[in-house]
Amino acid sequence: MRSWWARPSCGPRIRVRHDGPVRLNALAEPLERVLDRAPVSWKPLIDAWRASVPGQALLAFIAARQAAAATIYPAQVLRALELTPREQVRVVILGQDPYHGAGQAEGLAFSVPTGQRLPPSLRNIFKELQRDLGLPTPTHGHLGAWARQGVLLLNATLSVELGLPGAHTKRGWEALTDKIVAAVAETESPIVFMLWGGHAQAKAPLLAERAGRLVLHSNHPSPLSAARGPLPFLGKRPLWRCQPVPGRTGRRTDRLAHRLKARRPASWQRAWPGLRAVIYSAVRRGGVPEWLKGADCKSVGLRLRWFESSLLHQAKRIISSVF
């Protein structure tokens, strides 16, 4: 019986047999067939990328690796898009590439199938949720419930090979995920983007100068970088700024206003890093957001921070509701 050594993501090496878990969740059909079944809400975007030079290059690369008997994960490379339609996206969690251990990747960033041991990156995510929201650690690592409630769990690269992290980086996937992120950022609904790791943060320019967007940066939750500065994941508490949403739209509680006022800079021009981007974007569209109407210069910063708090509360409500 043939066997070889493989190293699951961020874990010790294990011996894998040919009839073991290696082929579990592996891509067993041509990538073109998978793309033919693209979700309806994302299909125009995927078809445009598929016909482009990066798309054709990726198809040729994947076909060549399959011909060479490479084990490619996951089988459902578009699963994040299947579970989260374009019009339902409220939170985007952006990672690097899928887990490269046997049977771990399932097409959702940071998620593993039920029954799989929690990878270290996912354990760190759950640890921060417990520290931040007081939630008990889940008994499994499948994040499908998040995806169905509007959390787009997207990797910058959508495929990988067994035991070879980053094997499909810069092969064409990035052009597709750039289009996905840009398309989500153009929607009218408020969106929270969580960019975890360098590959994810490379997409930050796609989110510049857009109103109603909250972008949070941190290192990747992998143990290799989770505690490293300047943007550590551990201890950062990604949702620590969430505050209760006021009882009525447009109204702030005294406690929230007091906390925000204490942190507000003396000059309204420095009230919030995204202030100018929000105003410029509104002017280009021929109007200003409802929550900015009637505000004088001194209160603009406070209103923007209230809006930021509302966005974070939305992300917190979605994520905490699945446990």
Catalytic positions: 97
Within its chain, how far is the Cα of 246 from the centroid? 27
What angle in degrees, to the nearest 10, is found between the helix axes of 53-67 and 43-50? 80
Q: How far apart are CA 291 and CA 304, in angstroms?
A: 8
* Residue 275, both tokens: 């202030």
The DSSP call for residue 198 is H
d(CA 264, CA 77): 44
CA nearest neighbour of 322 among 191, 85, 144, 190:
144
Task: Encode 6-20 in three state secondary structure.
Answer: ECCCCCCCEEEECCC
Q: Answer for the pair 94, 196: CB distance below 8 angstroms, yes or no.
A: yes
Tokens of 172: 């064409």
Neighbours of 208 (CB within 10 A): 12
Contact 153, 143 (CB under 8 A): yes
* 3-class state of residue 150 by DSSP: coil
Interhelix angle for 43-50 vs 173-185, to 10°? 150
Helix intervals (H) in the chain: 31-36, 43-50, 53-67, 79-83, 120-133, 144-148, 173-185, 198-201, 254-263, 275-284, 297-320
Interatomic CA distance for residues 152 and 85, integer angstroms: 9
Cα–Cα distances (Å) from 310 to 239, 248, 250, 252, 279, in that order, read 12, 12, 10, 11, 18
